[in-house]
A and B are shown apart, each in its own frame.
Chain A
Amino acid sequence: MTNRIEIRDLYKIFGSHPQEALKLVREGKSKAEILEEAGAVLGVNNVSLSIPKGSISVIMGLSGSGKSTLARCVNRILEPDAGHVLLDGEDITKCDQSTLREIRRRRMSMVFQNFGLLPNQTVIDNVSFGLKLRKVPQAERYRKAGEMLETVGLSSWASHLPGELSGGMRQRVGLARALATEADVLIMDEAFSALDPLIRTDMQDELLRLQHSLHKTVLFITHDFQEALRLGSKIAIMADGAVIRDGTPQEIVLDPQHEYVAAFTRNVDRARLFDASSVMTAEPVDHPGGAGFVIDGDGRVTGWRGAESDPPSPDFISVSPDTVLLDIAAKAAGRKGPVAVVDDSGRFQGKITESALLAGIAGTSEPQNKGRAHA
């Protein structure tokens, strides 16, 4: 997977003398000491991150952790004080204003927490806002904006004002506006945080649905760990301006590495997060010739036996490696014997015993392999 965006050694300091404060940071002083000595607030502290192409990367942190500041450094709404942001290898922090504008107009767009819609302009005018800034003729930009409204299911609201729409609908407008410029990098700053829980889940589904066909590179900022798990194929967790843990959701849940991160992962619903590949064992049988799966010369599973002496029975359950534990549990309920994990052509990948499945769901023993994203 190639990286669309690379953030390298990024610092952002709020205060009247950022460079002096930066010197203190590099001497290894803490956030509190810097506030004390230089009167400056350390917003982003030496962050390096890679945002892979075509997937959703989440930056998760509580308020004041610097996550929104970091997001704003990526499109330079805020100027970073040190470090680099590379977009497709090009250093954004070194761009002149007009290059930067072109990047914002065509390659990167943004969705805001409180939607950021112009209250006195209609929905279609709001959606075509980015195109208007680019001086696209009105007919052309309404055509494009109309398409985007259709994508988010708001075609019939085109001539209404944002104030006449519900929160969820307004954020769909915000999303349509970001998509209308055809930028393929999307920065979503707490985009769903202002919405009611049910609407928020809807919007998460909508984003995943859109992402399934659009394959944008999304940088999603949130304070909600559940949301991060649901959306992100990569998650970076921030505290006090620094990234303290990053990786796939499964990696982070399996190994939080940090007391602060562990506090978030403790209540995670593992049954939905982990898949077959994370709890399976590669050996088809307990010991050579013992109980287990019978495999033919092509690697396909032909049957199962409960004990050495039993004849192989064709009655067994098989799942694909990316089936989540919850679905495996539902399938296996009331049946005897282990579950076979097979690939698309039916070749044996691994075996899941009842106890491994339960342990994986309960989190009592570590799943053995780090599975892929399932959120």
Chain B
Amino acid sequence: MLDADTVYIPLDRWIQTAIEWIALHFRPAFRTVRWPIDELLNLIEGGLQATPPLLFILIFALLSLWLAGRRTGIFTVVALFVILLLGIWEPTMTTLALIATAIVICVIIGIPIGILCARSDKAWRIVRPILDVMQTTPSFVYLIPVVMLFGVGTVPGAVAVIVVAVPPLIRFTNIGIRGVDRELIEAGIAFGATDRQLLWEIQLPQALPTILGGLNQTVLMAMVMSVIVAMIGAEGLGLVVLQGLGRLDVGRAAIGGIGIVLMAIILDRLTQAVAERDPKKASPFARLAGAGRMVMGGRSRGADTATATPADSKN
């Protein structure tokens, strides 16, 4: 008889050993990964914390008015004033900085991977199961390896947020590009488009609404995860909730919760509005893509055209 008390697979110990080994031998590599995230986070958070709250509210109000219309504009103003008056402005800005950092890096990583997956079935066969595992793993499970590899604090928190938030963007980019009308692709090829022209002139513009839908999902995942990473010492609204829980201070925990919900609604409305904008009015993202194209075009004319990748223009 198989006795489960004496015979078992010591997978837990294997994983522990593996992670410890990686942590020991690859620490410099992880330090290197940490660095750009650290810089970006400090830059954004410094900017946000230095902005006077009223100016910030004004900017955000105008932004949401422009992107999403009057109703969302009014909601944004009210919500931000509530956050200000509840006394959680500072942690809210920290959370926003954390999310913004994660989103920037998700875009830099996620869209090129999504493009790669769309263009190569082989790449998609490899990436897809990884995404499946990433998306079904409970999000706080990521915290342990992150702590072992990156330490504790807001920057490791950002790493965990990125890991959780990037899969939807990869999936939506892949689906968006694969879903582009076959005849449009054929038209591109028939008129002599290079692979890069096909990507920039046809595939990305056509897939943009889907990619922005993915970005919306990524923003929401980042928002959720930004709370959970308080458990590994990330600052922000999550920490407010965690402190409330630790002291059994229901009131404080609730305030943190309200801040999170309000921020989540604002970010959701804004990113959705961007994704659903009337294609006739060039969306801000389309303008950005256009600017990126110009920068790329200008550079590639002088330099070797083959070296630039789509990721370059996002930097």
A-side residues, CB < 8 A to B, are 72, 75, 77, 101-106, 108-110, 112-120, 129-130, 132-135, 161, 177, 181, 187
Contact = CB atoms under 8 A, between A and B. Distances in A.
A132 B188 CA distance: 11
B183 A110 contact: no
Interface stretch (B53-61, B190-198, B241-249): B190-198
Nearest to B186: A77
Given A118-B202, A120-B205, A132-B201, A181 B183 contact: no
Q: Which of B189, B192, B279 has the most CB of A within 10 A?
A: B192
Contact of B189 (A104, A106, A118, A177): A104
Contact of A113 (B183, B192, B194, B197): B183
Contacts of B193: 101, 133
Given A113-B183, A133-B197, A75 B190 contact: yes
Nearest to B205: A120
B184 interface: yes
B191 A105 contact: yes
B194 A120 contact: no
B279 A116 contact: no
Nearest to A134: B192
B287 interface: no
22 contacts: A72-B186, A77-B190, A101-B192, A101-B193, A101-B194, A102-B192, A104-B192, A105-B191, A105-B192, A110-B187, A112-B187, A113-B183, A116-B186, A117-B187, A118-B201, A118-B206, A119-B206, A119-B279, A133-B191, A135-B301, A161-B280, A187-B190
Judged by DSSP, the binding face of B is helix
Interface in B154-184: 181, 183-184
Given A113-B183, A116-B181, A129-B187, 7 more contacts: A101-B192, A109-B190, A112-B186, A116-B183, A116-B186, A133-B201, A135-B301
A133 B195 CA distance: 11
Contacts of A77: 186, 189-190
A121 B84 CA distance: 44
Nearest to B194: A101
Nearest to A104: B192
Contact of B191 (A72, A104, A120): A104
Nearest to B198: A133
Contacts of B194: 101, 133
A130 B183 contact: no
A361 B114 CA distance: 63
Size range of the chain B interface in the assembly: 20 to 34
Contacts of B187: 110, 112, 116-117, 129
B34 to A, nearest CB: 40
Nearest to B209: A120
Interface string B270-311: 000000000110000000000000000000010000000000
A93 to B, nearest CB: 16
A186 B183 CA distance: 16
B90 to A, nearest CB: 42
A129 B202 CA distance: 10
A101 B190 CA distance: 8
B205 A110 contact: no
A105 B193 CA distance: 8
A37 to B, nearest CB: 25
A164 B188 CA distance: 22
B160 to A, nearest CB: 37
Nearest to A130: B191
A194 to B, nearest CB: 11
Contacts of A130: 191-192
A133 B205 contact: no
Interface string B128-140: 0000000000000
A134 B191 CA distance: 9
A115 B188 CA distance: 12
A177 B202 CA distance: 15
B213 to A, nearest CB: 16
Contacts of A117: 187
A187 B206 CA distance: 25
B183 A114 contact: yes
B205 A118 contact: yes
A106 B202 CA distance: 20
Contact of B192 (A72, A119, A133): A133
